[in-house]
Amino acid sequence: MNDKTWERYGALGGVWFVVLVVIGGIAAGAPPSRTDPAADIAKHYADHADGLQLGAFLGALGIIGLVWWFGTLWRAMTNAEAGTPRVAVIALIGLVLSGIGATLSFTIDAGAAAAIDVLGEGSAVFFQISNISFGFSAMGDVVLATAVGGLILRTGFLPKWVGYLSYGVVILSLGAMISIASDNDVFSFFGLLAAVLWGIWIIVTGVLLYQKAATTA
């Protein structure tokens, strides 16, 4: 396959990522509230140990597709910046920050589930750390979506409405970040909404980048 073909199918890596993460999330089961008793949190880890570990594995597989998706996004952004990737670099940093926070969260959950017989109700500590780590991943989403959305609205390298969708991700992710400092369920709900919209945003950008690469091939 030539480079344009790789660029085109790389864009669909975002779809691969979202699908695997959704399947992994279903396998892991609905998490308890951060304010639930430690016994309930330990029960969640015990009841969903296999699902949490499977979800972490599927998330790791999905990240492979996400990297390819960003490779295509990077090219589109650098082309829009006339080969001077200032905003594209900011977007890359945002993706890395988001990935570190989310990966750490999944790792902590999978590890706590695997060691639940040893941790017992002490797993509640790891549950809190996992949630806070996921809040930090929202910080990376803010950086990534702001960079991409701003460049779209400035240059039009993707349809303008995708730029506004990007800022929707930013607003919800800012709300999700408050979960770093608060265990209120409202901010956890913001995190859920942000994750859903972020997934939709990745699929939308991936499909549009695929179509754009196919048109210019």
Phi-psi region of 171 (alpha: psi -120 to 50; beta: other; left: phi over 0): alpha
Q: Higher pLDDT residue, 185 or 167?
A: 167
**Is 192 part of any domain?**
yes
Mean pLDDT of 180-209: 94
Residue reference for tokens 């369920």:
185
Q: Could you tell me if residue 217 is inside a domain?
A: no
For 191, the domain range is: 3-212
DSSP secondary structure letter of residue 217: -
Domains in the chain: how many in total?
1
Question: Would 131 be classed as within a structural domain?
Answer: yes
138 in a structural domain: yes
Q: What are phi and psi of 73, to 5 degrees?
A: -60, -40
Please tell me the distance from the alpha carbon of residue 38 to that of residue 35, in angstroms, as a whole number: 9
Question: Tokens 């991700």 correspond to what residue?
Answer: 169
Q: Which pLDDT score is estimated for 1?
A: 57
Length of the chain: 217
pTM for this structure? 0.93
Q: How far apart are CA 27 and CA 2, in angstroms?
A: 37
The share of the chain scoring above pLDDT 90, in percent, equals 88
